Amino acid sequence: MQFTRRAALAAGALTLAGCGSAPQAQTASPSPSAAPSASPSPSPRPGEIVHGPRDRAQVALTFHGQGEDQLVRTTLAVLARLDAPVTVLAVGSWLDEHPGLARAILDGGHELGNHTYSHADISSLPTAAQYAEITRCADVLRRLTGSTGRWFRPSQTPRASAALQRQAQRAGYPTCLAYDVDSLDYTDPGPAAVVRTTLDGVHNGSIVSLHLGHPGTVEALPELIAALRKRGLTPVTATTLLT
């Protein structure tokens, strides 16, 4: 199912943009202060993004990507029925084991990103190993989809250190994708708790952390998405939210 991409051109917290009448008698050279000023250059995107623009009534549902094949396909079917595009940050070794899911995710109108190759505690690894984890997953994404994806999310840590951000940038990911709402669904608290925890923290521009491979998360999705829409919040991909 193809999802309608909403234009996201309003200025927000994460992006910056970046004539008078001639005299009748004498023509004077304009003073330096009268010269038109050049438009400011856009500010560079930060090395890590935690949330999107707070003046935009959208939220990005982002999934840490690994799980049993059939459960993931069930998740995709539920999202298709709900017409809710999401961003999946995929573990490379999981995609190696389930290569068909990469195309299924993209064909469903969702987007894929990088969540390291082996889902190791990346913050504890030496610099060279961090870089290898990122690039190895990028290679899998490129082989299966033709693209490395736009976003990198580090594994087993909610935030990327400055050093890890540099390794992600070396690997072709200028910005790490963090989140400001943790659903805690990986603790398997039950669907009602997943909905409640998410709604308690969500705002305009929020990036929500969810996980594939957890039945309670799948069960929570219809109620969660309905509640977001009731608040006027539209689920979109991370790229739509942040562009």
Q: Report the C-alpha gap between 113 and 141 in whole angstroms.
A: 8
Closest to 64 in 3D by CA, of 113, 100, 102: 113
Q: Report the C-alpha gap between 194 and 224 in whole angstroms.
A: 8
Q: What is the dihedral of CA 102, 105, 109, 110, to 10 degrees?
A: -90
Distances (CA, A) of 90 to 27, 49, 209: 65, 18, 13
Contacts of 136 (CB under 8 A, 6+ apart): 92, 117
- Residues 239, 241, 243: CA angle, nearest 5 degrees: 60
Closest to 110 in 3D by CA, of 78, 69, 139, 136: 78
Q: Report the C-alpha gap between 91 and 141 in whole angstroms.
A: 10
Checking if the pLDDT of 210 tops 90, the result is yes
Q: Report the C-alpha gap between 11 and 128 in whole angstroms.
A: 37
Checking if the pLDDT of 159 tops 60, the result is yes
Q: Structure pTM?
A: 0.82
Checking if the pLDDT of 13 tops 50, the result is no
State the pLDDT confidence band at 46, using cuts at 50, 70 and 90: confident
Checking if the pLDDT of 175 tops 70, the result is yes
Q: Report the C-alpha gap between 151 and 63 in whole angstroms.
A: 12
